[in-house]
Amino acid sequence: MQMLRIERDPRGTATLILNRPTERNALCAELIGELTEALTGLAAERDLRVVLLAGAGSAFCAGADIADMRAAGAAEPVQNVAAARRFVALLDRLERMPQPTVAVVHGAAYGGALGLIAACDIAVAGMAARFALSEVRLGLVPAMISPYVIRAIGARQAGRFMLTAEAMDAATAARVGLVHEAVEDAALPAAVAKIVDALLAGGPCAQAEIKLLLRRVTGRGDAADAVLQGELAQWIARLRGSAEATEGLTAFLEKRPAKWREPG
């Protein structure tokens, strides 16, 4: 089975569908690579107007593949950092798409999935969707996705949900700004179609310029972004090689509570 499907329509839209349904579309190294490659190809298509991101099966995306995360943490530091940089590159490619991007969210969206959602220009969710910044429950931090999530929901809200890993329902995700709209699941296709119609009514060159404008007026630059991305890759690589993360990831795979170190 292909880990990524691409569906097109004649109006100039492409839908990227994460296609690991039995693993709830967890982001393994192969899927990250396929998604990055697909986005790179689509970015160069002058006639493409809108890119949508969705998940197959019961979930949008369960976040990082835990077995991959544990393997990266056990690898040599250079390999660990390289694996982190591949996900950093994916998020950067998604955010920098010249076309408007729309995340279509249903079911579970955990951990790294929130980075995908926040890196898209627009996000719409079904009311049954559930969201969580779940990394702390594994002894990790949401380092690589943090700039995107903080831009979407602000540092105050991000701090709460990063520290607690509480699940958000779709209404809460809309209230804090993670998604723009939450609708009944049956109404999700119609809600997305309405947004696509609105996007297709705009000038494509103007839309690409608006995306550049938003980066400029919020004080961002390529050099500063590159430095930050390198720091974040080092950060997650360091932590997932730690004893606490090893215990958290192992406990998850063994379906047991983690035995955290007692403070003191």
Give me the phi and psi of 256, to 5 degrees please.
-140, 160
pLDDT value of residue 15: 98
Spatial distance between the Cα atoms of 72 and 51, rounded to a whole number of angstroms? 30
Q: Over the chain, what is the mean pLDDT?
A: 96
Looking at residue 64, the DSSP 8-state letter turns out to be B
101, 104, 109, 115: CA torsion to nearest 10: 10
End-to-end CA distance of the chain: 49
Query: With a cut of 70, which residues of the chain have pLDDT below it?
Result: 1, 261-264
Task: Report pLDDT digits (tens) over 88-124.
Answer: 999 999 999 999 999 999 999 999 999 999 999 999 9
Architecture of domain 4-187: Alpha-Beta Complex (3.90)
Nearest to 93, CA basis, from 19, 49, 38, 16: 38
pTM: 0.96
Q: pLDDT digits over 188-219, tens only?
A: 999 999 999 999 999 999 999 999 999 999 99
pLDDT at 1: 63
Q: Are 120 and 94 in contact (CB under 8 A)?
A: yes
